[in-house]
Structure 1
Amino acid sequence: MHNVDLLVYDVGSTYTKVTAFKKENKILSFIGRSQAPTTVSNIEIGLINARKNLAQSMGLSDAIPEKVLATSSAAGGLRMIAMGYMPRVTAKAAKEVAMSAGARVLEIISHETPVDFREEVLQEIKPDIILLAGGTDGGDEDSVLENAHIIVKSKCRGVVIIACNSQAQPKVEAFLNSEGVRTFRVQNVMPTIHELKVKPAREAIHREFIRQITQAKGLGRLLEMVTNKKVMPTPGAVLMGTEVLALGTTENEGLGSIMVIDIGGATTDVHSVMPELAELSNEEKGLVISNEKQVSYRTVEGNLGLRVSATGIVETAGAKGVLAKVNLSDEELCEELITYTQNLEKNPDHISVTQKEILFDKALAITAIEIAIKRHAGYLAQSFDPIMGVAPGTAVGRDLRKLQKVVAVGGIFAHSSKEDCLEILRKAFANRGISLLPEDPQFIIDKSYLLYTIGALAQEFPNEALQLAFNNIYGGN
């Protein structure tokens, strides 16, 4: 007998979370959420503990679901190297492909990189995935064939995603396969100088993510538990949830342009989805390498997290800079803050209980968010750049000034009062400077930590997931 219709797990770097839902007459209702520390030695223990805690919180002996879905970031992300022709274009394509696919780009290799060094990089990093880009359709073929030979010579065992000039792909695929290299062939990530086509490459990485996480202790068991036999990378689930909320579905309209700030124990991720950009012509978009005018965009600050990466926040802004966010400046407190963040990295499951620790967490959150949103947004140029055709006052990068809705996600928002949540956000957005940040945003708090579940649920129940988001995220503010 099922007492819960749906469970959605998220195995994170710090906590394993589980959220329960009932489904009646095409309506999904949130009925409970719990978590337990992620157990790195055997992830299944964390899954069991999270479900036990959920059942206890709901007054049940156990939470027995009809269907189970899951996301995960516990595998740490697959190691990825991008190989292409032009360095800036390859870097741009690699970043966009990895944006929500569970991969970390560790090196960018272009035709300017010495051949011997390319081979050394492959041998040292031993990437799980190589994104082989290069050449618009009908363009350069020589560099991608050269890189294919270097991959074989390096004896690299990672999978190669062939996402280059479509005319060169059959030759590259045939050569790599003949040498025993595993490949996925997908659409060219940059078919013209005005557009990126990253979805097929992302889906290929996602398939590889699922294949490889089964090798992590306990994650193979998670895959067995999941009804649809898929485990989404958590960033991908958050982005999909953001897209559903912004774009809507074939049957229901979304909210329009939104930004999502997802602050966790290891990273601070910022997503923005702007449906109106889909209507731009190629001329309005400009060159791929000099704009951020894609509909969906995500940035990740891997050294800005409230637990595993807490020292990264202090290293970036300085202890005084962090404490200034909560109007403190005492030298002794600076030392205490440094010690506190060092302890957090050693004990990421620590829950702050004293007023001082709670204040430190608030200061760290404000600082991390301010840095992350300014890196995500574009800026007003301050000088001439004749090569890029930029004059002082020109908007460069992602222009979010007219965006009106900002959704905040993360443990600190789920477990703080609404007043404290709004204070964190207002202070993080207070000093816009030359950044192209929203001018007058409406702050929406995801108090139930549901956005990643919206993305997971949207795979099978898009309309129900959107209504759930309206009722519990947007409607709850």
Structure 2
Amino acid sequence: MRVHTLVVEIGSTITKVSAFSSLKEKNPRYLGKGIAKTTVDEGDVTKGLERAIDDLKNKLGADKLTWTHLFGNSSAAGGLKMTVHGLVLEMTAKAAKEAALGAGAIVKLITAGLITPYDLKKIEEIKPNIILLSGGVDFGEDRIVVENAKRLSTISIKPPVVFAGNRAVRDIVKDIFKSKGFKIYITENVYPEIDKLNIEPVRKVIQGVFEEHIIHAPGMEEIRNWVEGDIIPTPGAVMNSFMLLYKEIGDIMGFDVGGATTDVHSVTKGKKDKDSVVIYPEPIAKRTVEGDLGVYVSAKNVLDEIDPLNREEIEKKFKHLSPIPEKRSEVNLTKKLAEVCVKTALLRHVGEVRYLYTPTGKIKAIFGKDLRNVKWVVGTGGVFTHIPSMKTFLKRLFKNTENERLLLPENPKILIDKYYIFSAMGTISNLYPAGAKKLLLESLGFKDNLF
């Protein structure tokens, strides 16, 4: 059997292969998915990929499977680790962090102001895949930015550096890093003016650097030789799908619960209130990643969020927890973990209203991401695809909102990515935007693009 396109996802827990046909035509088709455990622990992730392809062949009833195109994304072996360095925590450092998260990174360290010897030590311990340096609005403060470049250039490791700061010092920063043997990438300022974010150019550069430099896990070099185009970070691929859907159906958010992390994506401008002020700007497309919340690799961390009375009983069950739950007891435990992951991640993602007292009186201020205009809430990932009651949980979650200060969606519609294709479609959305959009809408339950 020959298919048009395979999209491979090498995850931290699971390797998936999705098959598609007719992506350039009016009626693209999702054919099926093969799944296997990711084989980092066996020393070669290609083994997991081969098993996932075998699983796909079985599901398609094919003795042999060939393909015209193969594309990929990955979050294996820790994904994309980054450190982010800016000038002011709630301005350039925050903007740089948002760009890194939007690209699919796990941000291990954020600094603001002058980088200290302790910061340099932490960076060397983290061994980031990429360092993102920002700081200063265009033609504004430059002394600290240049000094930070000098200090970063002294570390013993040499990951690629992306500079997204004051454009007045681009050449100086570039020369500093090049003279010390670093690969340096210059892009637009992530915070060019006060209260203005410029996330997208930085996000794209980070994803390009990721593919060019990062081989995350044993066997990834071989997989990179198999695939066409860039291998992009899996969370960045998922964000691509949310951004594509935002253009079609409006304000949207979603949860992607994995074995190691729980990601929350939202694409919305928020709601404009005449009687409130926004304290710090937020990107339209925002991702938060909770590295301590997952249903397999990070499952024990979730115990801290669960009723302590159940802790001892659940810890016993963890010994039998499976990356691909099949027994009813495994499914029930995974569901309980996933519910905690979703609820906790939502509370960390959403913004809130606070009241501040100024010389002119009390003002209503908005801090963080305003989700009130979100019309659609999506569940993507294995727990939503394989555990039907998770849709009911999401409906209940957004009806039972006790804290009126939280800027949560108001009566959103709940959708499930039934084909489990958000990362796959986001990987190929630039090449096949019409086909990707149509299949995403179909996966969410829309018929003939009517919504």
Scaled by the length of structure 1, the TM-score of the pair is 0.86
Q: Quick one: which amino acid aligns to residue 295 of structure 1?
A: I
Q: Which residue of 2 aligns with 1:375?
A: 348
Is 1:409 equivalent to 2:389 in the alignment? no
Q: State the match for 2:435 in structure 1.
A: 464
Q: CA deviation at 1:187?
A: 0.8
Amino acid aligned to 1:318? I
- State the SS of the aligned residue for 1:35: strand
What is the CA–CA distance in structure 2 between the aligned matches of 1:350 and 1:102, rounded to whole Å? 24
Which residue in the other structure is 1:66 paired with? 68
Which whole-Å CA distance do the structure 1 matches of 2:365 and 2:85 have between them?
Answer: 32
Query: Structure 2: any 5+ residue segments left out of the alignment?
Result: none
Question: 1:353: which partner in 2?
Answer: 327
Partner of 1:319: 307
List 4+ stretches of structure 1 deviating above 4 A: 284-287
Per-residue displacement from partner, 1:166-199 (whole Å, max 9, x unpaired)?
0011111122212322211111111011212122
Contact preservation (8 Å) 1:122, 1:151: no
Alpha-carbon distance in structure 1 between the residues aligned to 2:260 and 2:180? 39
Q: 1:71 is aligned with what amino acid?
A: N
Q: Does 1:45 align with 2:17?
A: no
Residues 126 and 12 of structure 1: CA distance in aligned 2, closer, same or farther (over 3 Å): closer
In 2, Cα distance between the equivalents of 1:439 and 1:34? 37
Contact 1:93 1:196 survives alignment (8 Å)? yes
CA distance 1:436–1:19, shift in 2 (3 Å): same
**Alpha-carbon distance change, 268 to 190 in structure 1, aligned in 2, over 3 angstroms:** same
* Contact 1:404/1:442 (<8 A) preserved: yes
Instruction: Tell me the amino acid that sits aligned with residue 301 of structure 1.
Output: E
For structure 1, which segment, 200-209 or 235-244, has the greater mean C-alpha deviation from structure 2 after superposition?
200-209
Q: Within the alignment, does 1:425 sit opposite 2:394 as a pair?
A: yes
Contact 1:102–1:209 (8 Å) recurs in 2: no
Written as runs of structure 1 = structure 2, the 5 A alignment for 1:385-400 is: 386=358, 391=363, 394-400=365-371
Shift of 1:37: 0.6
Q: Single out whichever of 64-73 and 151-160 deviates more from structure 2.
A: 151-160
Among 447, 452, 468, the residue aligned to 2:418: 447
Query: SS at the partner of 1:303?
Result: coil
Any conservation in 2 of the 1:246–1:275 contact (CA below 8 Å)?
A: no
Judged with a 3 Å threshold, the aligned counterparts in structure 2 of structure 1 residues 79 and 471 are, in CA distance, closer, same or farther, namely closer
Task: Judge conservation of contact 1:319–1:338 (CA < 8 Å) in 2.
Answer: no
User: For residues 370-392 of structure 1, what are the alpha-carbon distances to aligned partners after superposition, in whole Å with 9 as ceiling and x for unaligned?
Assistant: 111121111232x53559x974x
Percent of residue pairs identical: 34
User: Once the 2 structures are TM-superposed, how far is the Cα of residue 406 of structure 1 from its aligned partner?
Assistant: 0.7
Cα gap change, 1:314/1:215 in structure 2, threshold over 3 Å: closer, same or farther? closer
Cα pair 2:379 2:391 within 8 Å, conserved = no
- Does residue 335 (structure 1) correspond to residue 312 (structure 2)? The answer is yes
Tell whether the 8 Å contact from 1:311 to 1:342 is kept in structure 2 after alignment.
no
Q: Which residue of 2 aligns with 1:237?
A: 237
Q: What is the CA distance between 1:469 and its match in structure 2?
A: 1.5
Aligned-pair Cα RMSD in Å = 2.5
Q: Residues 165, 364 of structure 1: CA spacing in aligned structure 2 closer, same or farther, 3 A cutoff?
A: same
CA contact (8 A) 1:366 1:427 kept: no
Contact 2:10 2:76 in 1 (8 A): yes
Is the contact made by 2:133 and 2:163 (CA closer than 8 Å) also made in structure 1? yes
- C-alpha distance in structure 2 between counterparts of 1:79 and 1:404, whole Å: 32
Secondary structure at the counterpart of residue 298 of structure 1: strand
Question: Per-residue CA shift, 1:38-71, capped at 9, x if unaligned?
Answer: 1112110111110111011111012211111111
Shift of residue 112, structure 1, vs aligned partner: 5.1
2:265 aligned with 1:271: yes
Residue number in structure 1 paired with 2:5: 6
Please give the alpha-carbon distance, in whole angstroms, between the structure 2 residues aligned to 1:343 and 1:78: 29
Q: Which amino acid aligns with 2:187?
A: V
2:204 paired residue number: 203
Alignment match of 1:82 (pick from 81, 84, 89): 84
For 2:163, the aligned partner's letter is I
- Residues 15 and 285 of structure 1: CA distance in aligned 2, closer, same or farther (over 3 Å): farther
Q: Deviations over 1:245-272 (max 9, x none)?
A: 111xxxxxx0111111111111111111
The residue type equivalent to 1:35 in the other structure is I
Q: Is the partner of 1:5 in helix, strand or coil?
A: strand
Report the Cα distance in structure 1 between the residues aligned to 2:84 and 2:236, rounded to whole angstroms. Answer: 20
Distance in 1 between the 2:446 and 2:216 partners?
40
Deviation per CA, 1:10-52: give whole Å up to 9, x if none.
Answer: 1111110011111073431011112011111211011111011
